[in-house]
Amino acid sequence: MIKKDQIIAQIGHPILRKKTLEVETKNIKSEEVINITTELVKIMRMFNGAGLAANQIFHNLRICVIEIKNNSRYSFLPNIPLKILINPKIFILNKKNTFNSFEGCLSVPNLRGMVKRYEEIKVDYYNEKAQHKSEIIKGFAAIVYQHEIDHLDGILFTDRVINNKSLVTYENYIKFYEKKYKESIIKNFYQ
């Protein structure tokens, strides 16, 4: 049987700490990039991730995917349609508007921790058709974008926890924190 750490790089693997290389514009529609994108979507869905970055599956390129679709790990969240981001660049639009996000990661086994994220961002990127896009992202989706684009810069959520005491196992997150966290998301983003 293939083990998870052969498919998804786990914390401690050096590739997670490298700043990924930009995809050359002429290569966006290349077979290599198409294959990586297809693999990212497949593996993200296989492990119920909300997103996945190319360096998490051992490709040192600035590509990530995002999707929330009836996700069992994030059952309380509304759907985010599949997004493929090539060479994404992030701009924070409002530094004052932040949300404390209780995050986990497919590269960090069994751990959740509280991270401060911005609620309004702009993302410039190329899509899989090599079209340049610039989009304003607000609400919970902005948090997922920041987590994934951090990966492309070699940053893990554990680097950003606001307090080490917020680090908990997944089981204890479900047991002691999930209910309150769900309420804070609904109150902050969906009311």
Helix count (H) and strand count (E) of the chain?
A: 5, 8
Instruction: Tell me which H or E stretch contains 10.
Output: none
Residue among 23 and 106 whose Cβ is closer to Zn ion: 106
**Residue 75, burial from CB neighbour count under 10 angstroms (0-12, 13-18, 19+):** exposed
| Residues 6 or more apart whose Cβ sits within 8 Å of residue 123 | 85, 88, 89, 90, 91, 133, 134, 135, 137, 145, 149
Round to whole Å and give the CA distance between 33 and 128. 9
Nearest distance, CB of residue 188 and Zn ion, angstroms:
21
Q: Which residue is nearest to Zn ion (CB)?
A: 105
Q: Which is nearer to Zn ion, 11 or 186 (CB)?
A: 11
Considering the candidates 32, 135, 148, 183, report the single residue annotated as catalytic: 148
Closest distance of CB 94 from Zn ion, Å: 24
Among residues 54 and 105, whose Cβ is nearest to Zn ion? Answer: 105
Q: Which residues pair with 64 in a beta bridge?
A: 53, 85
Cβ contact 28:15 at 8 Å: no
- Is residue 171 flagged as an active site residue? no
Helices (H), 3-139: 4-7, 31-46
Residues at the site binding Zn ion, with contacts judged by CB under 5 A: 105
Give min distance, CB of 186 to Zn ion, in A: 23
Q: Nearest approach, Cβ of 158 to Zn ion (angstroms)?
A: 10
Residue 37 or 107: which CB sits closer to Zn ion?
Answer: 107
Which sequence positions are flagged as catalytic?
A: 148
